[in-house]
Structure 1
């Protein structure tokens, strides 16, 4: 069972004498922040923020928790102003945490070869300041990735990423050292280390090879299984970071593994993690959202909709759909920018909508089904035979329409798109040979595609995944390596490379003669 804090028993009365010591102040801050998180999880958002706001300028944990709640809200709403506000607040929290750090940081101390007792030189409060500071940097990096999936753009020269990673590594060394003495609030400190080590290992392990090599060169390493293990430990003990460890695991199992991978997340594990939170917070919007996503992945669409409606997620989704359905001519004017950057999927939609703005507009053949592919939705819908067959009917109709349509500059692109989506439907219906023919047909048209160049590497990706499904692992590796090495500067390139990397990790782990091995544990 997940180690969420029993907030009622966790909150204890403190005497005035206790409050005078730094340890008591730290304990009191943690208790107050836990209470605020409890309010947040009960959907009492503003009350939670009000509870924290009065001390957010003076207490590292109040400041961090205040910013964390704003960040979770930003990830729920995806509104640019919320994301910018969360980023600015997290930066302020980082400044507050800095005030409580020792002038010589943990990393600086351990980098000194003459110093073998770094843990003894830091007070308990200073150790917590280190882990809070590293967490601020980590969460700021997460917001950056939310704004732009291009990992290279925010890793290159990103001091905060390296500083956070290095601090977590040194804190882990301290926890594992013989000199480490557990303080009164050790579980919260260790939970923070597990969160950071787990997050970095899991995230780095998912990165495309070209970025992974760059990071390993400057001292980063990532092991997915070790990262999941650390997060699981953090989620299963009673500590302040148990919620964030759980949330990251839920995100991995229900989203990251699908959008940035091949859907290898453990849905049963996600449900096991979620159950105690749903029992304690039956109306909690965040947990109902994940419950809906789990039902969606399992193909239980009606049950998913009920969960989303219970959590009011249908409102935000309806607003999003209305914005996208107001007409393709209006799409470019609806572009949102976060810190000066457009969202990758919005840039993709805008580029696709440009053909409606010409003097002789040409309709997109199946825009909704194409966007579904960008989000790897076929891995979910494919579990419903009736829905998949319905999409195949739509795609066959689109194919016939294109066959009789007049020649345009977009014709081959549109034909290849429909073939790609048909291949996916056929694969999920068990018609593997027909699916393979669709994917291979796209490759024969490579030189004729004018705009949608992403279709070629993605058709090779799908061929590789199909070969994996049918046990032809060596052939799968050939297709995947070709997709990775031979194409660049196409739409949604980073997302495609994430999926290629996940597929290669999976297939090579099952290939006896595969030369690839996971990076070592830090």
Structure 2
């Protein structure tokens, strides 16, 4: 029996994981081409059985909720992400004394951590009371600890590269990079408090992890790229650090803009970059192109209108 056809302990073959990743990347390609509804339909039909379909479908719904702040969208996204997390939980490694993981179990761990992090973001968005803050904080901590453990697994001498190693490594780089970057940007007092309870953040290491993750053609390279673009074009300005690099942002955006010339996400970032550079006419043209490129998600129009104001 070949390695690709080898059956795991839960009855699923390794090729099932490969096919799920391939199908989710095809759905992501549809999403980036502005075929939002078709992408969701492709994912939804397998979201009850495949952790990657469930996670990707929930992520798209969360993006929509983040753009609209509509309580109903937030609720639907939260419930869908909760179902995705439960599916990942069922495929995670059972508590044993063995430190070895199957490839399926490693992917279940990284998907589980991602679900936790995204659910925490929705929890903070849904309610601003203390109970929600504590619940969100617990999810963040559990996600952070899982990513740390998975990073240690990658560095360990006993780790064996599976067929889908690149996708797993990309997921770890996304999580470790995001946590390090975000934590490092917090105010000094907050950072000291977080370090006291076990968090740590290194901005340069975080950026390095995200850059490495975005450079590979893996399932999460797009998300690594988006985080870096957000950092260079928005977060550094909002937080007043002035450390964003427009040239890096342009280099990150160019391959995607070439592949998806009418992609709303990429036209929006292209417009934002021109706005930062002071090329207002070019920025206005790109924001208008972004609005004309698709009509399914009006949320992108609202983002462009805000920048045009």
Q: TM over 0.5, yes or no? A: yes
User: Counterpart in 2 of 1:206?
Assistant: 185
- Aligned partners of 1:123, 1:43: CA distance in 2, in Å? 36
1:423-460 per-position Cα deviation (integer Å, ceiling 9, x unaligned): xxxxxxxxxxxxxxxxxxxxxxxxxxxxxxxxxxxxxx
Aligned residues: 294
Cα deviation code 1:360-409 (max 9, x no counterpart): xxxxxxxx9xxxxxxxxxxxxxxxxxxxxxxxxxxxxxxxxxxxxxxxxx
Please give the root-mean-square deviation of Cα atoms over the aligned residues, in Å: 2.7
Q: Distance in 2 between matches of 1:30 and 1:46?
A: 19
Q: Shift in Å at residue 81 of structure 1?
A: 3.2
The one of 274, 290, 293 equivalent to 1:295 is: 274
1:12-60 deviations in Å (ceiling 9; x for gaps): xxxxx79985201000100110000000000000000000111101110
> What residue in structure 1 maps to residue 34 of structure 2?
43
Cα separation, partners in 2 of 1:317 and 1:124, compared to 1, 3 Å: closer
**Offset at residue 297 of structure 1 (A):** 1.0
Kindly report which structure 2 residues correspond to 1:78-97, keeping only aligned pairs within 5 A, or say none.
Answer: 78-97=69-88
Q: Secondary structure at the match of 1:102?
A: coil
Aligned with residue 218 of structure 1, among 179, 184, 197: 197
Alignment of 1:381-392 (within 5 A): none
Distance 1:197-1:270 versus aligned 2 partners, 3 A rule:
same
1:73 aligns with 2:90: no
CA contact 1:155–1:161 (8 Å) conserved in 2: no
What's the secondary structure of 2:158's corresponding residue?
coil
Structure 1, residues 486-513: CA drift from partner, whole Å, max 9, x if none?
xxxxxxxxxxxxxxxxxxxxxxxxxxxx
**1:202: how far off?**
0.4
Distance 1:291 1:33 in 2: 26
**How far 1:84 moved relative to its partner?**
3.2
Structure 2 unaligned runs (5+)? Answer: 292-298
CA shift for structure 1 position 146: 5.2
Cα displacement (A) at 1:74: 2.9
Of the structure 1 ranges 59-68 and 302-311, higher mean CA displacement relative to structure 2 is found in 302-311
Preserved contact between residue 24 and residue 43 of structure 2 (Cα < 8 Å)? yes
Superposed counterparts of 1:438-517, under 5 Å: none
Contact 2:120 2:137 in 1 (8 A): no
Find 1:197's aligned residue among 152, 176, 196.
176
Aligned partner of residue 158 in structure 1, secondary structure: helix
Aligned to 1:274: 253
Match of 2:122 among 143, 147, 157: 143
1:123 is aligned to 2:102: yes
What secondary structure is seen at the aligned counterpart in 2 of 1:181? coil
TM-score by length of 1: 0.53
TM-score by length of 2: 0.87
Corresponding residue of 1:316 = 302
